[in-house]
Amino acid sequence: MKTEVILTSNIVGLGAESDQVKVAAGYARNYLFPQRLAIPLSNANKRRLEVLRQRRADREAHEFNTMTEMAKGLGKLVCLVKVKAGEDGKMFGAVTAGMIADELKHQFEVSLDKKKIHLEHPIKTLGEHEVELHLHAEVKGTLKIRVESTTPAPLPEAAGQTEAKKEEGRPEPRWKRSERGDKFGPAKTEATEKPRAAQRERPVRAERPPKTEKVAKPAKAIKSEKTE
């Protein structure tokens, strides 16, 4: 069973002040009337419509001004959202409107309904993003979001040390080792080159004549000499 009532407050999804709407009799009797959100439709209550319309106009004007100022303030902010990501920068999960609303409350003490944060798709990449805000029926704004990883990036020094280790693991060219003076011989310096040059300039010694070999005497001749 439906009953017609006059709203005295703004109710999302139902109407605003001075609107005449039909609702379930139980809903009106158990909720709207006790909470003073509506009054029964009657000739006596119709006289209050003008007052309700003026109250509605004042409320909407206040909301418009408040949301306009909020849009200007939020447009100057950069909301930081930290997420978990791998070393390659790939995020684990996504940034949602609820996360942005929580960070606004935490960082700037700005209470904003997550339904006013319009995301066509959840944010899934690191870096800066710009999201649209639907603050009022006639007021829209933008908010800059910076998504950063909670995993620290590798330091440049560490990367340089890694490259150095790679270079140490590689075999050194033979010509470098010979110049340094390791197992391939002493280093090629002026001190080592000069003695070598001096050795090459020494006079060549005269060759000695070959030694003459003694001829052994026959055994008979030796015996004859002894008998004599």
In the structure, what pLDDT confidence band is assigned to residue 193 with cuts at 50, 70 and 90? Answer: low
| Rg of the Cα atoms in the chain | 50
In the structure, what pLDDT confidence band is assigned to residue 134 with cuts at 50, 70 and 90? Answer: very high
Q: How far is CA 24 from the centre of its chain?
A: 53
Please state, in angstroms and rounded to a whole number, the distance separating the CA atoms of residues 60 and 139: 12
Model pTM score: 0.57
pLDDT (tens digit, 9 = 90+) per residue, 108-129? 999 999 999 999 888 999 999 9
109 φψ region: left (φ > 0), alpha (ψ -120 to 50), beta (else): left
Mean pLDDT of 123-137: 93
For residue 70, give the nearest of 102, 129, 110, 117 by alpha carbon: 110
In the structure, what pLDDT confidence band is assigned to residue 205 with cuts at 50, 70 and 90? Answer: low
In the structure, what pLDDT confidence band is assigned to residue 68 with cuts at 50, 70 and 90? Answer: very high
Burial class (CB in 10 A: 0-12, 13-18, 19+), 77: middle
In the chain, CATH 3.40.5.10 sits at: 2-47
pLDDT at 89: 80
The matching CATH number, chosen from 3.40.50.10090, 1.10.287.1080, 3.40.50.300, 3.40.5.10, for 2-47 is 3.40.5.10
Say which CATH class 71-149 falls into: alpha beta
pLDDT (tens digit, 9 = 90+) per residue, 11-57? 989 999 999 999 999 999 999 999 999 999 988 888 889 899 999 99
Q: First and final CA of the chain: distance in angstroms?
A: 173
